[in-house]
Amino acid sequence: MRTAVDRHLQFAFMLLAMAFVATTATAGTTTAKWTEFGATKKAWYSAHALDPNMPPYRGCCFLPRQRDGVDRYNGVTNRAIGGVPRVVQFEMWFAPPISLAAARNIVLQEAPPGSKLVSFTRLSDCVLMAFKSSALTRAFKSGSLKASQPIMDVELQSSANGGPFKASAVRDILFLTLPVVIKGEC
């Protein structure tokens, strides 16, 4: 006859065995979920809070709302690439403004996995950056954005009106997809 202690030990051993199997089965297979620029529309929506007060432009604007009442994510544009809707453009607004160093860190967080900076140009009214990513290339390998290596172009501005760029006051970050690096003009 088994005692209560024996049953508890058997149950604990079974739980340990199940935990070991689950850990072994998933070891080395975890990857970060891609939810930012170039991600599928479904992945984007799973990671961002839609602003419910923005009809009839539903889908354009995502929270959090900034101090000035503008949403952080604006102009979110999806395009079907190889039959899959993907985020190909969006804008981030900051109120209060952030530094150029903080903006660069945010750009890297919003970039596709494995992104590498290929161009950085500082102009009087903006900063232009371009990134390449093998993940973006694989995602965009078919459809209307065919390119040997698609680019994530980024534009940083201090003013929505095109005023001078201040490294201490980045208000606007625009992300867009173009098949070539754009240099020279904001």
Q: Is the pLDDT of residue 6 over 60?
A: no
pLDDT at 28: 32
- Tell me, yes or no, whether 62 and 147 share the same domain: yes
Range list of β-strands (E), 29-115: 49-50, 62-65, 71-81, 84-98
pLDDT confidence bin for 83, thresholds 50/70/90: confident
pLDDT confidence bin for 147, thresholds 50/70/90: low
DSSP class of residue 29 equals -
Whole-model pTM? Answer: 0.76
- Tell me, yes or no, whether 97 and 155 share the same domain: yes
pLDDT confidence bin for 73, thresholds 50/70/90: very high
- Tell me, yes or no, whether 82 and 20 share the same domain: no
- Tell me, yes or no, whether 66 and 145 share the same domain: yes
pLDDT in tens, 10-37: 433 333 333 333 322 333 333 458 999 9
CA distance 44 to 37: 8
Tell me which residue range forms the domain holding 49.
Answer: 41-178
